[in-house]
Amino acid sequence: MESSLVLEDGTVVRGASFGAPVKAFGELVFNTNMTGYTEALTDPSYRGQILLMTYPLIGNYGVDPAWMESDEIQVTGFVVREACAAPSHARSQKAVGPFLDEYGVPGLQGADTRDLTIRIRSRGTMKAALVPGGEDLRAAAKEVRTMPYPDRRNLVAEVSCRKPVRYPGAGKRTLVVVDCGVKRNILREAQRFADVVRVPWDTPADDILALKPSGVIVSNGPGDPAHPDLARTTVPAVRELADRVPLLGICLGHQIIALAFGAKTFKLKFGHRGGNQPVKDLRTGRVHITSQNHGFAVDADSLDPSEFEVTHLNLNDRTVEGIVHRTRPVFSVQYHPEAHPGPRDNEYIFREFVAQLRES
Q: Kindly give, in sequence order, each residue whose CB lies less than 8 Å from that of residue 330, ignoring residues fewer than 6 positions away.
A: 242, 246, 247, 257, 324
CA dihedral 226, 251, 33, 109 (to 10 degrees): -30
Identity of residue 354: V
Catalytic residues: 251, 336, 338
Say how far apart CA 352 and CA 283 lie, in whole Å.
14
Answer whether the bond into residue 148 is a cis peptide, omega within 30°: no
For residues 162 and 199, give the distance between their C-alpha atoms in angstroms, rounded to a whole number.
Answer: 8
Q: Residue 246 in contact with residue 358, Cβ under 8 Å? A: yes
Q: How far is CA 50 from CA 20, 79, 183, 300, in A?
A: 14, 7, 19, 29
Burial 55-90, CB ≥16 within 10 A → b, else e: beebbbbbbeeebbbbeebbbbbbbbbbbbeebeee
